[in-house]
Amino acid sequence: MAAEPTIPATRNVGVLVSGRGSNLRSLLDAQARGDLDANFAVVISNNTSADARAHAEEYGVPWVVIDHQVFTDRQAFEEELVGQLRAHEVSVVVLAGFMRVLGSTFLEAYGGLTLNIHPSLLPAFAGLDAQKQALAAGVRVSGCTVHLVDSGVDTGPIIDQSVVPVRNDDTVQTLSDRILAQEHRLLPRALGWVLDGRVTVHDQVVTLDA
Ligand code: GRF
């Protein structure tokens, strides 16, 4: 298959969250510092009480809740999601701790232009509780991955990764904290690459154009 450069139409970004929002915060802080040229058009949460809201509001980014529980099926939820993203003229979507698996309705609209951050070195330890999975496997290093989203769970072409050591006395909390510090560094940089049109996918493998 031919190489497919990922070239967004605009620098308008929509961020999807479900909880704490520290990765959202890292994006907004990077933009405010001048380290990331992005226009955060909307933050959408599927969780009515997500703490991420405070970060969006502090930065004046529109906050929208789409509670998945009120929809009869996944397609109806995703239609609403895509409708909101389009209404805010979003070109690139970031899943920043978004705890729903997205299907064909979403991917037809934003596939190839959606990033996810995951707290393991994919393809190891996909899915929930990645840090707990890493400790149970006894790996000596773990880390985090930013990848483009496809129809699998935590699959899709890998844009960037960061490695951290796993220590003998680590708990899920201490390992998660060490990984999270790297997530906050990795995600803004990877988003910048996508917005700059530097990410090309060939046979599932990303190359980064100069
Ligand atoms: C992060 O560890 C991220 O990798 C995972 O969910 C967590 C979200 O944390 N997908 P936060 O809401 O960004 O603080």
3-state SS, one letter per residue, for the chain: CCCEECCCCCCEEEEEECCCCHHHHHHHHHHHHCCCCCEEEEEEECCCCCCHHHHHHHCCCCEEECCHHHCCCHHHHHHHHHHHHHHCCCCEEEECCCCCCCCHHHHHHHCCCEEEEECCCCCCCCCCCHHHHHHHHCCCEEEEEEEECCCCCCCCCEEEEEEEECCCCCCHHHHHHHHHHHHHHHHHHHHHHHHCCCEEEECCEEEECC
84 within ligand 1 shell (Cβ under 6 A): no
Distance 130 CA to ligand 1 centre (A): 11
Q: Which pLDDT tens digit goes with each residue over 130-163?
A: 999 999 999 999 999 999 999 999 999 999 999 9
Please indicate, yes or no, whether the overall pTM of this predicted structure exceeds 0.95.
Answer: yes
Q: Is the CB of 143 under 6 A from ligand 1?
A: no
Task: Give pLDDT, residue 210.
Answer: 85
The residues carrying an active-site annotation are 118
Taking the centre of ligand 1 as the mean of its atom positions, its distance from the CA of residue 96, in whole angstroms, is 6
Q: What is the pLDDT of residues 81-135, one digit of tens each?
A: 999 999 999 999 999 999 999 999 999 999 999 999 999 999 999 999 999 999 9
Q: Which domains are assigned to the chain?
A: 10-110 (3.40.50.170), 117-210 (3.40.50.170)
